[in-house]
Structure 1
Amino acid sequence: MALTANQIFVNLPVKDLKKSMDFYSKIGFEFNLQFTDDNAACLVISEHIYAMLLVEPFFQTFTKKEIADATRTTEAILAISAESRDMVDEIVDKALNAGGQPSNEPQDHGFMYTRSFQDVDGHLWEVMYMDMSAVQQQQ
């Protein structure tokens, strides 16, 4: 039997929780305030996907490893899907206007379109749209 999970919680270290919350709010994300306090904020990505933004000292209590400086090293690339190419552009443009930095050049593979940005802490985000009908035709 394959392992399945009902939800995913990605934990990200942040330097300034308020600044990070302001950034994601400007993109259009919301927070679950039930799981938000001075140390952490629960960023709602979808009904089953969340990013826990944890201030670095609090994040450090969960690991014995050094926290990666996401402005200098790549720890992970967080990829999220969008409903359309226009929505990809809208999300990334909002992120850039809110203080994010561009990451890679847009990628257009016909059936898949992606753009990426770095958040205020340097975490890499990729926003993608995939035309599933085009993918099914290629098979």
Structure 2
Amino acid sequence: MTTSIFVNLPTTDLDRSKAFYEALGYAINPMFTDENAACVVLDENVYFMVLTRDYLGTFTDKQIIDPKSQAQALIALTCDSREAVDAIVATGLAAGGSEPRPANDLGFMYTRDLEDPDGNILEFLFMEAAAVEQGPEAFLAEQGGSAPAGA
């Protein structure tokens, strides 16, 4: 059985959100898109369901947070290189997103955060393949460095 992931994100402007995610290179699946929701296809098993705040509220009794001032989740997406991380963040900034903090370079992993126009946080990252196989400390020791605290 293949598992698919659907991440539900609130928006105050569905058309703006669709344009933002399309600018990042993702497709919108029209079969699961209407005036309340848009299905953003990241790949064949990963989807963002961008939902109006009112519609998202029909799925839970909990308060829908304002992602501009509160964080409920940080969604991390891998990229094939540091350059790919920089490129997608640059595209997102040009499409109306914002970068809430500077890039984070841990030696074995490079990350940049991008907030969509609603404030939902996407973290784009590249991790050295050897660090994935060996673990960050072994990789950095091989490179002559050490892992930062908490890595």
Alignment TM-score, normalising by the size of structure 1: 0.92
Q: Do structure 1's residue 48 and structure 2's residue 12 form an aligned pair?
A: no
Partner of 1:111: 108
The CA deviation at 1:136 is: 3.0
> Which residue number corresponds to residue 83 of structure 1?
80
**Greater Cα radius of gyration, structure 1 or 2:** 2
- State the SS of the aligned residue for 1:68: coil
- How do 1:15-30 and structure 2 match up within 5 A? 15-30=12-27
Q: Provide the C-alpha distance between the structure 2 equivalents of 1:136 and 1:26, rounded to a whole number of angstroms.
A: 33
One-letter amino acid of the counterpart of residue 31, structure 2: Q
State the identity as a percent.
43
Distance in 2, matches of 1:85 and 1:130, equals: 9
Deviates more, 1:26-35 or 1:82-91: 26-35
Q: Which residue, 5, 8, 22 being the options, matches 2:5?
A: 8
Aligned-residue RMSD, C-alpha: 1.5
Residue among 56, 67, 71 paired with 2:68: 71
1:60 corresponds to 2:57: yes
Structure 1 residue runs without a partner (length 5+): none
What is the alpha-carbon distance in structure 2 between the residues aligned to residue 87 and residue 134 of structure 1?
Answer: 18
